[in-house]
Amino acid sequence: MAKDPNDFSEATKTKVFKRAGYQCSFPGCSLALIGPHSDSDGGGTVSTGEISHISGARPAANNRYKSHLSPEQRCHHSNAIALCRTHAKLIDSDEDKYTVEVICAWKEEHEARISKRQAGERFDEYYQKPYDKCSNEELLDDRNYRLGLVKEDSEQRAAKAFCMFGISALAAGVIYIVYLFLGGMHLYLFIAAIVLIVLPVVAAFKVLEEKSEFIQRQEAVIQEANHRLKERGVI
């Protein structure tokens, strides 16, 4: 049977699953959509997910079908969302409630959440609570976790800067040997010194000074946690 041009290709399905972190995109679900199979060799997987059309592939009740879309648009990854089978069925049960706009917002928020989690953000129950609602133990645990993220980032940036300083030092040694060999500083050697010695040093200092937006957020939250803990007499 010929493939319906409105249906997703396997490559598109894989892309959408990966962007969703193989988790259901329905708000509050996050069910794992793939897991290990109990086969004898231990290499199999079980899939419980669906790649659903945001706007329906073909005319049907409650599937948000848009007649003006082309088959290419209907089978594009932008028209797909990863869901568990329960929620894949649910969104096609009430077109008035589960509109294209609502489902697109779910997808965008879920992918943003996966991106933050991949970068090290936490999503514990109390992480979502205002700090004035957290216990002292929760505040301390969350602060210490974020301090660990900041420390790890600082160590990584220091290691990169050290490598750049090492490159600069090595270049300085090579240029000095060439300088002795040539019996003096020449224009090309001077330019090479600027490029191979100065630029790595400048780049190293830039790496040490620049912090990602993610780390800046962690530091801001650490300050707030410290303020709360000081108010409570904990630290």
pLDDT above 60 for 108: yes
Mean pLDDT of 95-105: 93
Task: Say whether pTM exceeds 0.85.
Answer: no
Q: How confident is the model at residue 194 (pLDDT cuts 50, 70, 90)?
A: confident
pLDDT of residue 126: 46
pLDDT above 50 for 35: yes
In the block, residue with structure tokens 């000074």: 209
Mean pLDDT of 159-176: 92
> Cα(77)–Cα(20) distance, rounded to whole angstroms?
12
Chain centre distance of CA 76? 22
Contacts of 114 (CB under 8 A, 6+ apart): 19, 20, 21, 23
pLDDT above 60 for 127: no
For residue 114 the two structure tokens come to 């996966």
Rounded mean pLDDT of the chain? Answer: 88
pLDDT digits (tens, 9 = 90+) for 44-96: 889 999 999 999 998 888 789 999 999 999 999 999 999 999 999 999 998 88
Q: How confident is the model at residue 142 (pLDDT cuts 50, 70, 90)?
A: confident
Which has more confidence, 125 or 140?
140
pLDDT above 50 for 119: yes
Backbone dihedral region for residue 22 (phi beyond 0: left; psi -120 to 50: alpha; all else: beta): left
pLDDT above 90 for 149: no
- Answer for the pair 71, 5: CB distance below 8 angstroms, yes or no: yes
Chain centre distance of CA 92? 29
Mean pLDDT of 122-132: 61
Out of 140-149, 152-161, 204-213, the most confident range is 152-161
pLDDT of residue 28: 82
In the block, residue with structure tokens 């988790």: 23
Q: How confident is the model at residue 135 (pLDDT cuts 50, 70, 90)?
A: confident
Q: Are strands 45-47 and 34-36 parallel, antiparallel or unpaired?
A: antiparallel
